[in-house]
Amino acid sequence: MNASVLTDNVLTIDGPGGAGKGTISGLLAERLGWHLLDSGALYRLTAYAAGKHSIAFDDEAGLAQVAENLDVAFPVADGAVQTLLEGEDVSRAIRTEQAGERASKVAALPAVRTALLKRQRDFSQPPGLVADGRDMGTVVFPGAALKIFLTASADERARRRYEQLQQAGVDASLSSLLQEIQARDARDTQRSVAPLKPADDAITLDTTRLSIPEVVEQLTEWLALRGMTSGA
């Protein structure tokens, strides 16, 4: 599939970590009855699937084949997104430290990156797609009908992450989280391949002072103005 196919009902939501992309994308996909792509999970899923099928992490061709044929879905129920690999819920399994390390290894392989670009575009199916990531509007779906770049201040994103960790019973330092977010922002915006930035035709929405329902309503409004199926 090339980048111009089936993009009439594609909504891309890009932005830095902590801006609310995952939550907003899941809620919108559920409201619209559209497919969901959590692009950030795909490298972790590739690594996890490779381990499951005994593919060596230095076998670039084998890993690329795994990536291109990932049997993955991101169903949403009551606002909660699941990650299914070959029908198995691996939402927690792919978020371990080991899974992250393996994902970093496979992400460095050009053949895997190429295969995952194709796999991501394959998610664009009727009735529509909400694509969540960092380069959805700039690289993966440059022809998307509506592109959103969600952002928020680094302080607010650190606060949100701190609250999430506290609710999960995990001790954390707010100042350390802020430093991590600032460092990641610098890496993501300055990298040579697919840097984090709004697409030229994206709408930037600052969520610092907006609630989740307010953001969902605003995006639903913009979808309706473009004649995209709202399903609401």
3-state secondary structure 174-197: HHHHHHHHHHHHHHHHHCCCCCCC
Is 67 known to sit in a ligand binding site?
A: no
Task: Give the number of other CB atoms < 10 A from CB of residue 206.
Answer: 14
Query: Any binding-site annotation on 110?
Result: no
- The answer on whether 51 is annotated among ligand-binding residues is no
Q: Tally helices (H) and strands (E) across the chain.
A: 8, 10
| Residue that is written with structure tokens 């559209």 in the block | 34
CA trace torsion 70, 18, 150, 41 (10° rounding): 0
Q: Is 133 annotated as a binding residue?
A: no
Q: Consult the annotation and say whether 21 binds a ligand.
A: yes
Q: Annotated binding residues, as ranges?
A: 15-23
Q: Annotated binding residues for ATP, as ranges?
A: 15-23
